[in-house]
A and B are shown apart, each in its own frame.
Chain A
């Protein structure tokens, strides 16, 4: 926004908290305006009292070590120098191949450049990448799509070959490539730079699950299957490398990080589910293969049953769910069949029940940091259902999720009637067959 204002002829100073200094600098460079005027205050601003914030304004900029207001005023009034006037234009090409080196040195280079997840990788030699490319009919130079770490960063472009390179690094097999390409083509990064530490969780549906021997049974969400593990890892590695990085402090700002970010992909147990598969709910045919990408991973609740008190338990989980990140439920087939016995003969009926029972007092809902930041402006602008929620009295119970935001997947080995409620906004369900 600051760059746009400058382009409109308005001298502008952008104020950030100090932890964003490196990121602000690199974003300004990517905007072609590396000398954009910035001023910094201590972290955090959230939850600070007015008195505390006043000390920020009257205090020292923690980056420049000069008075904060002096930075701001000089940023608007100090005459520009020649370098300010021209901006910086440059090409940032990345080579197809790296300079040849020993295996040991190349492994060190990949780690030092933040191109790995710090677990051992398979080096993407020309031969291995060529072998990987046999997994798709698409040309190596075909553009798959584009990715970026977050809204205000620039998109980077990715080709079939670049996706294959990262698939090799993750230890994937050529036959997995259509699934990995589909995930890359979704346009959703598995390496969001959000301070809130989002991750993606991907669900695979259709015949390709069995063709690849994917796991939808015992240990479905754990490290017990090569295809599940390698596809999830490939999606993570390609996201960080093809979007321009996921480097802490620069292109990654997740305060606590997220375990799901290592690898989180699994198959739905369609054959053992009493309900319609996820991809069919989203408009695909049962014979199609598709990948669904959930963006979340903030929380995971767990339960068993459904037992006599299941409604109380599920209500508590729903109200405890972070309000900005809707839930998807992963039900073991035993638990799914238990809900069918209770009359939920379609996923939609259980989803509807969840939406009606995800209740919270209005004051608690609106006090949530993310709701306040991201939803409140929409409510004020009259966007529904947020505007109606905003009209509720403070102690009035309001529904915090819409049915269309909640999803159900059936997976598990039937060793236990377990279920999980996981933070995940379904951002896309994309064709895998298109990438065969």
Chain B
């Protein structure tokens, strides 16, 4: 029988994950303002413009506004406040 070795785990220490609840969903998008967040990745502005056109053609009762954060990757708190104050929902894209 092969000798059993005791070795260290090479991984670091992950942070504790704290559960966060999702925001309540809307009953309907009718009459609501949906912010289309252009995450600034290449061509995501075109994608969000097309999303806006899609809503205009297929769900005209939904108001849409395209918005951009100040910087790529940044959690733009001013933008977030603006969406929370003036919108009912958000679609982010395209990217993480």
Contact = CB atoms under 8 A, between A and B. Distances in A.
A36 B12 contact: no
B21 A125 contact: no
A159 B13 contact: yes
Nearest to A44: B43
What's the dominant secondary structure at chain B's contact region?
Answer: loop
Interface stretch (A99-107, A221-229, A287-295, A335-343): A99-107
B12 to A, nearest CB: 3
B20 to A, nearest CB: 5
A1 B12 contact: no
A1 B69 contact: yes
Contacts of B94: 15-17, 41, 45
B72 A377 contact: yes
A14 interface: yes
B45 to A, nearest CB: 10
Interface residues of A, number: 103
B89 A76 contact: yes
B78 to A, nearest CB: 12
A237 B10 contact: yes
A124 B51 contact: no
Interface string A119-140: 0000111100100000000000
Contact of B41 (A7, A9, A45, A162): A45
Contact of A89 (B16, B22, B39): B16
A151 interface: yes
Contacts of B39: 1
Interface string B30-48: 0000110101111110110
A58 interface: yes
Contacts of A237: 10
A6 B9 contact: no
Contacts of B59: 73
Interface string B64-96: 000011111101100011011001111111111
B68 to A, nearest CB: 7
A126 B6 contact: yes
A247 interface: no
A59 B6 CA distance: 53
Contacts of A152: 73, 96
Given A10-B83, A14-B92, A35-B22, A46 B10 contact: no
Given A87-B20, A123-B5, A76 B25 contact: yes
B8 A374 contact: no
A241 B12 contact: yes
A126 B22 CA distance: 44
Contacts, number: 274
Contacts of A86: 19, 21
Contacts of B76: 1
B90 A5 contact: yes
A8 B83 contact: yes
Interface in A143-181: 147, 151-152, 154-159, 161-162, 165-166, 169
Contact of A95 (B9, B27, B37, B58): B9
A45 B96 CA distance: 13
B93 A5 contact: no
Contact of B92 (A15, A102, A376): A15
A284 to B, nearest CB: 28
B92 to A, nearest CB: 5
B93 A10 contact: no
Contacts of B75: 1, 4
A154 B5 contact: no
B26 A104 contact: no
A188 to B, nearest CB: 15
Given A1-B37, A374-B72, 7 more contacts: A5-B80, A33-B20, A89-B18, A110-B10, A126-B7, A152-B73, A162-B10
CB-based closest 7 A-B pairs? A87-B19, A15-B93, A242-B12, A102-B2, A89-B19, A156-B12, A92-B14
18 contacts: A8-B23, A13-B89, A14-B92, A16-B93, A32-B17, A32-B18, A32-B19, A45-B42, A45-B43, A87-B18, A92-B14, A92-B17, A98-B8, A100-B4, A103-B5, A125-B7, A126-B8, A157-B15
